[in-house]
Amino acid sequence: MFRFGIIVCAAFLLYPFFLPDDFYGRMAAEVLLAAIGASAWNILGGYAGQISVGHAVFFGIGAYAPLLIFTKFGLPPIVGVPVGILVSTAVTVVIGLPTFRLTGHYFSMATIAVAELIRLVISNWDYVGAATGLMGPAVARTWLDLSFRSPIPYYYIFLAVLACLLLLTWHLQRSRMGYYWRAIRAGERPARSLGVPVVRYKLYALLLSAGFTSVAGSLYSLMVGFIDPESGFGILKSVELIIIAALGGAGSLFGPLVGAMILVPLQTMTNSLYGGGGSGLTYIIYGGIIVLLARYEPGGLLDLWHRMMSRRAHRADVAAAKPHAS
Amino acid sequence: MLLRAQNVSRSFGALLALSGASLDVTEGEIVGLIGPNGAGKSTFFNCVAGDLTPTGGNILFNDVDVTRATPEAHAKLGIGRTFQVPATFVELSILENVMVGAFLRHPDRNDARAAALEVIEFTGLKAVASAPARTLGTPGRKRLEIARVLATQPKLLLLDEALAGLTPSEVQDAIALVRRIHAKGITIVIVEHIMEVILTLAQRVLVFNQGVTIATGTPREVVDNTAVIEAYLGRRHARNAGAHAP
Ligand SMILES: Nc1ncnc2c1ncn2[C@@H]1O[C@H](COP(=O)(O)OP(=O)(O)O)[C@@H](O)[C@H]1O
Ligand SMILES: [Mg+2]
CB pairs under 8 A between A and B: 75
Q: Is residue A173 over pLDDT 90?
A: yes
Q: Which whole number is the average pLDDT over A90-110? A: 84
Q: What is the pLDDT of residue B59?
A: 97
Tell me the nearest-neighbour CA distance from A288 into chain B, angstroms: 26
- Cβ–ligand 1 distance for B47 under 6 Å, the answer no
Number of domains in chain A: 1
Using pLDDT thresholds of 50, 70 and 90, give the confidence band for residue A33: very high
Q: Is residue A325 over pLDDT 60?
A: no
- Cβ–ligand 1 distance for B17 under 6 Å, the answer yes
DSSP codes joined into one string, A98-114? HHTTS-THHHHHHHHHH
Q: Is residue B43 over pLDDT 80?
A: yes
Q: What is the pLDDT of residue A163?
A: 96
How many Cβ atoms from other residues are within 10 Å of residue A275's Cβ?
7
Q: What is the pLDDT of residue B242?
A: 41
List beta partners, residue B10. Answer: B18
Q: What is the pLDDT of residues A58-75, one digit of tens each?
A: 999 999 999 999 888 888
Q: What is the pLDDT of residues B90-114, one digit of tens each?
A: 999 999 999 999 999 999 999 999 9
Model ipTM?
0.91
Residue in chain A lying closest to B98 (CA): A194
Residues of B in contact with A187 (CB under 8 A): 87, 89
Q: Which whole number is the average pLDDT over A18-25? A: 81
Q: Is B111 on the interface with A (CB under 8 A)?
A: no
Classify residue A82 by burial, with Cβ atoms within 10 Å: 0-12, 13-18, 19+: middle
What is the residue range of B79's domain? 3-243
**Residue A251 included in any domain:** no
**Residue A309 included in any domain:** no
**Residue A102 included in any domain:** yes
Which of A26-35, A238-247, A277-286, B234-243 has the weakest average pLDDT? B234-243
Task: Quote the mean pLDDT of chain A.
Answer: 88
Number of domains in chain B: 1
Q: Is residue A81 over pLDDT 60?
A: yes
Considering chain A, what percentage of its residues have pLDDT values greater than 70? 96
| Gap between the Cα atoms of A77 and A83, Å rounded | 10
Using pLDDT thresholds of 50, 70 and 90, give the confidence band for residue A304: confident
**Residue A223 included in any domain:** yes
**Residue A212 included in any domain:** yes
- Cβ–ligand 1 distance for B206 under 6 Å, the answer no
Using pLDDT thresholds of 50, 70 and 90, give the confidence band for residue A6: confident
Q: What is the pLDDT of residue B136?
A: 95
Q: What is the pLDDT of residue B58?
A: 95
In this prediction the pTM is 0.91
Q: Which whole number is the average pLDDT over A90-109? A: 83
Tell me the nearest-neighbour CA distance from A326 into chain B, angstroms: 27
Q: Which whole number is the average pLDDT over B44-48? A: 96
| Gap between the Cα atoms of B239 and B135, Å rounded | 32
Q: Is residue B118 over pLDDT 90?
A: yes
Tell me the nearest-neighbour CA distance from B110 into chain A, angstroms: 9
What 8-state DSSP symbol labels residue A277?
A: G
What is the residue range of A176's domain? 28-235
Q: What is the pLDDT of residue A322?
A: 62
Q: Could you tell me the CA-to-CA distances from A165 to A122, B50, B88 in Å, in that order?
A: 28, 37, 31
Using pLDDT thresholds of 50, 70 and 90, give the confidence band for residue B236: low
Q: Note whether A180 contacts B80, CB cutoff 8 Å.
A: no
How many Cβ atoms from other residues are within 10 Å of residue B110's Cβ?
8
Q: Closest residue (by CA) to atom 12 of ligand 1? A: B17
Task: Quote the mean pLDDT of chain B.
Answer: 91
| Gap between the Cα atoms of A307 and B19, Å rounded | 52
Q: What is the pLDDT of residue A148?
A: 78
Using pLDDT thresholds of 50, 70 and 90, give the confidence band for residue A324: low
Using pLDDT thresholds of 50, 70 and 90, give the confidence band for residue A326: very low
3-state helix, strand, coil in chain B (%, to 5): 45, 25, 35
Please give, one letter per residue, the 3-state secondary structure of B25-88: ECCCCEEEEECCCCCCHHHHHHHHCCCCCCCEEEEEECCEECCCCCHHHHHHHCEEECCCCCCC
Q: Which residues contact B122 (CB under 8 A, 6 or more apart)?
A: B147, B150, B180
**Residue A75 included in any domain:** yes
Q: Is residue B226 over pLDDT 60?
A: yes
Antiparallel, parallel or unpaired: β A134-135 and A226-227:
antiparallel
Q: What is the pLDDT of residue B152?
A: 98
| Gap between the Cα atoms of B175 and B35, Å rounded | 20
**Residue A242 included in any domain:** no
Q: Closest residue (by CA) to atom 3 of ligand 1? A: B12
What φ, ψ does residue A124 adopt, rounded to 5°?
Answer: -115, 10
Q: What is the pLDDT of residues B128-182, one digit of tens each?
A: 999 999 999 999 999 999 999 999 999 999 999 998 888 889 999 999 999 999 9
CATH number of the CATH domain containing B147: 3.40.50.300
